């Protein structure tokens, strides 16, 4: 019997896009919560639903461990958790009902629960933890296990005796000591299924870690229900120690840093390279960062530490759209960063999004042209997704229908009045992915297929426009950067 059974609601086989990619990572945020509970002397085990079917196996975990408390603590470092997918919401509700049937108290934490606490209370949870909740979880569990009054706890939502939701005075919990938490409790999950999945699909084993939490930038489409604009940075020596442990004791061959923004502090990156080198801790790793953080010195330090791949939030090849997003980024900065990374032998990859309000076919063509001109090593393309608490959401809220969340990460429905239909954005996404993929294939391979995908885009475009799309971005900044099918055809042919 344990005090707390921790789990999360993401299950890879429920997400067709992610199952194709087959890049599963253990629930790091859940494991940090386990460390916080252990620091309070609370016994804890973890049911990891990533690769194991949740319903039947969770019931078995309940039977084996007979916990007094079940906490669905989502992985705040997994971007999929931040997307508030309805499939995850359904799994969480099933877990809550199973926990209550077993006589356990059900607690939930995550981006979706923070945004919609009353919905989760209505689906069987007795307590919702909002914000940075590791210490809040430990505090609440400690009180419940000792049958003490919980009292006023930041970020806590619960029902009173009349079934009315009661909110704490401070809506979000904060955890300023997160960076000093004990290392995440990786011993509570079995890494071998992850190793097998990675090795079978990619030929090597990758796992995740973080050097920081949060992001201080204010892109108006980015939801930050957990940390807001706060930023926490771990000591460079501690991060290097963890890398060494993963390399030597877990046999990890690659690391994905799940930080929202890596390399925010240039001096920290320099120290990090020194600490990694001193320990011989280097393994290839990838990060996500901003182009305006990637100076020559920072790129050199990243290369020294072992960085092999950087994903930059480029979002659009139209300066007008970047300005409308409050991105605070200039396209020429992206060009410079891409060249620096190329010279250092580091892959430069772009996150892009289609359909942001004000993006017409002209701006979308600018994005296509920008990708063709700068030739990133890879692209990740999503569609603008309004999440509560963002300026973007407020801008399009009146246009939203009944559907407010994607089912899984491959849903990609446009849920507001964009300039074009969802089907058209899918066509552009497929063509641009094929175009970028063709650059790393033998000369001429699939050239005809790529050309046909672009032809389909140009044929679809006139009939795919939404004539009453409301928001209009003003002042085209790069109107000459259009791309025609005639320009694309030679590129597709090699």
- Mean pLDDT value of segment 235-252: 97
With bands split at pLDDT 50, 70 and 90, how would you rate the model's confidence at 410? confident
Q: For 368-407, what is each residue's pLDDT tens digit? A: 999 999 999 999 999 999 988 899 999 898 888 878 888 8
Token representation of residue 13: 């086989």
Distance CA 183, CA 197 (A): 24
pTM, two decimals, is 0.92
Q: Which architecture characterizes domain 4-167 according to CATH?
A: 3-Layer(aba) Sandwich (3.40)
With bands split at pLDDT 50, 70 and 90, how would you rate the model's confidence at 474? very low
Distance CA 38, CA 461 (A): 56
Instruction: Please check the confidence at residue 472 and state whether its pLDDT lies above 50.
Output: no
Kindly report the average pLDDT of the chain as a whole number.
92
Distance CA 126, CA 112 (A): 16
Instruction: Please check the confidence at residue 32 and state whether its pLDDT lies above 60.
Output: yes
Distance CA 43, CA 38 (A): 6
Instruction: Please check the confidence at residue 473 and state whether its pLDDT lies above 80.
Output: no
Using CB atoms within 10 Å of the CB of residue 389, give its burial: 0 to 12 exposed, 13 to 18 middle, 19+ buried: middle
* DSSP bridge pairs for 166: 158
Owner of token pair 């080198």? 277
Distance CA 379, CA 409 (A): 16
- Mean pLDDT value of segment 37-46: 97
Long-range contacts of 287-290 (CB under 8 A, 24+ apart): 287/257, 287/259, 287/262, 287/263, 287/311, 288/257, 288/259, 288/260, 288/261, 288/262, 288/312, 288/313, 288/351, 289/261, 289/262, 289/263, 290/217, 290/261, 290/329
4-167 and 187-492 share one fold? no
Q: For 75-125, what is each residue's pLDDT tens digit? A: 999 988 877 789 999 999 999 999 999 999 999 999 999 999 999 999 999
Q: Domain boundaries in the chain?
A: 4-167, 187-492
**Top-tier CATH class for 187-492:** alpha beta
Identify the pLDDT of residue 389: 87
Q: Which of 76, 185, 82 is CA-nearest to residue 133?
A: 76
Which residues make Cβ contacts (< 8 Å) with residue 161, sequence separation at least 6? none
Q: pLDDT: is 427 or 477 the higher one?
A: 427
- Mean pLDDT value of segment 239-252: 97
Identify the pLDDT of residue 403: 82
Instruction: Please check the confidence at residue 182 and state whether its pLDDT lies above 90.
Output: no
Q: What is each CA distance from 435 to 298, 370, 432, 453, in whole angstroms?
A: 30, 13, 5, 9
List, in sequence order, the alpha helices (H) in 111-222: 111-115, 117-122, 134-145, 192-202
Token representation of residue 166: 């009661």
Distance CA 92, CA 108 (A): 8
The dihedral sign for the CA sequence 213, 201, 383, 379: positive
Q: For 122-167, what is each residue's pLDDT tens digit? A: 999 999 999 999 999 999 999 999 999 998 999 999 999 899 999 9
Distance CA 169, CA 133 (A): 15
């Amino acid at each position: 019997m344990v005090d707390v059974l921790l789990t999360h609601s993401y299950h890879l086989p429920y997400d067709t896009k992610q199952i194709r990619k087959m890049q599963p990572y253990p629930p790091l945020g859940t494991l940090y919560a386990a460390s916080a509970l252990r620091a309070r002397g609370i016994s804890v085990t973890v049911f990891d639903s990533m690769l194991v079917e949740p319903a039947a196996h969770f019931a078995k975990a309940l039977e084996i461990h007979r916990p007094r408390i079940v906490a669905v603590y989502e992985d705040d470092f997994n971007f999929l958790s931040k997307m508030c997918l309805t499939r995850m919401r359904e799994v969480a509700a099933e877990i809550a009902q199973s926990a209550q049937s077993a006589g356990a108290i059900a607690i939930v934490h995550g981006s979706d629960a923070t945004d919609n606490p009353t919905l989760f209370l209505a689906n069987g949870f007795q307590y919702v933890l909002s914000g940075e909740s590791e210490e809040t979880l430990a505090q609440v569990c400690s009180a419940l296990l000792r049958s003490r009054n919980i009292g006023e706890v930041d970020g806590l939502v619960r029902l009173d005796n009349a079934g009315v939701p009661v909110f704490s005075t401070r809506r979000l919990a904060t955890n300023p000591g997160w960076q000093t938490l004990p290392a995440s409790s990786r011993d509570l999950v079995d890494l071998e299924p992850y190793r097998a999945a990675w090795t079978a699909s990619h030929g090597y084993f990758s796992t995740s870690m973080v050097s920081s939490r949060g992001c201080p930038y204010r892109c108006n489409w980015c939801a930050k229900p957990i940390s807001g604009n706060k930023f926490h940075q771990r000591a460079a020596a501690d991060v290097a120690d963890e890398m060494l442990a993963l390399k030597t004791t877990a046999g990890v061959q690659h690391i994905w840093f799940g930080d929202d923004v890596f390399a925010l502090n240039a001096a920290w990156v320099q120290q990090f390279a020194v600490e990694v080198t001193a320990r011989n801790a280097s393994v290839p790793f990838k990060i996500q960062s901003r182009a305006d953080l990637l100076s020559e010195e920072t790129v050199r330090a990243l290369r020294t530490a072992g960085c092999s791949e950087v994903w930059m939030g480029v979002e659009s090849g139209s300066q007008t759209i970047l300005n409308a997003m409050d991105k605070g980024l200039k396209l020429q900065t992206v060009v410079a960063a891409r060249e620096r990374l190329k010279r250092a032998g580091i892959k430069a990859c772009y996150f892009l999004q289609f359909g942001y309000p004000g993006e017409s076919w002209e701006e979308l063509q600018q994005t296509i042209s920008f990708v063709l001109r700068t030739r990133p090593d890879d692209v990740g393309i999503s569609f603008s997704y309004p999440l509560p608490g963002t300026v973007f959401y407020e801008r399009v809220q009146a246009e939203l229908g009944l559907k407010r969340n994607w089912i899984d990460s491959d849903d990609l429905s446009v849920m507001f009045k964009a300039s074009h239909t969802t089907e058209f954005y899918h066509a552009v996404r497929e063509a641009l992915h094929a175009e970028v993929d063709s650059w790393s294939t033998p000369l001429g391979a699939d050239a005809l297929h790529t050309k046909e995908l672009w032809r389909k885009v140009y044929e679809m475009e006139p009939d795919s426009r939404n004539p009453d799309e409301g928001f209009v971005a003003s002042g085209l900044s790069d109107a000459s950067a259009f791309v025609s099918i005639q320009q694309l055809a030679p590129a597709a042919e090699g």
